[in-house]
Amino acid sequence: MYTISQLAKSANVNVETIRYYERQKLINQPIKPLQGYRQYPEETLTRVLFIKRAQHLGFTLAEIDTLIELSAGSCHEVQHLAEHKLDIVQAKIKDMKSLEKSLKELVSSCQSNSNPASCPIIDSLVPSGRRLS
């Protein structure tokens, strides 16, 4: 059993994170005894660690809530959710690679720029036919 501060420390999160997860109904808040502190069971630590790992993989709290609901059900449904998340991640990677290519081209054009009064990076960000100042 853990107090909220012990739980937070064991999960390497802030106490406010635990309270937030309670408000979001991701973990249950134990009943407060007449004297002393709420006691969180070991399962709550497992749940918080699960949430943090899922967040690290890019799942939102809403998606994590769905994963928790599906954990007692079909692996196929969990797979479908993970495949959807993978599609999103792959699209982001594609966008980031495109951004990387554009930035490399801009840096290269800036490095080869011989006009100190003009900057290709700034020029590329200003709409055509307009001036920044």
Q: What residues does each domain of the chain span?
A: 1-72, 74-112
pTM of the full structure: 0.72
Q: For CA atoms 44, 45, 50, 55, give the dihedral sign.
A: positive
Rg (CA), the chain: 24
Span 75-96, average pLDDT: 94
The strand pairing partners of 2, in sequence order, are: 40
pLDDT digits (tens, 9 = 90+) for 39-77: 999 999 999 999 999 999 999 999 999 999 988 888 898
**Predicted pLDDT at 129:** 77
Give me the CATH code for the 1-72 domain, please: 1.10.1660.10
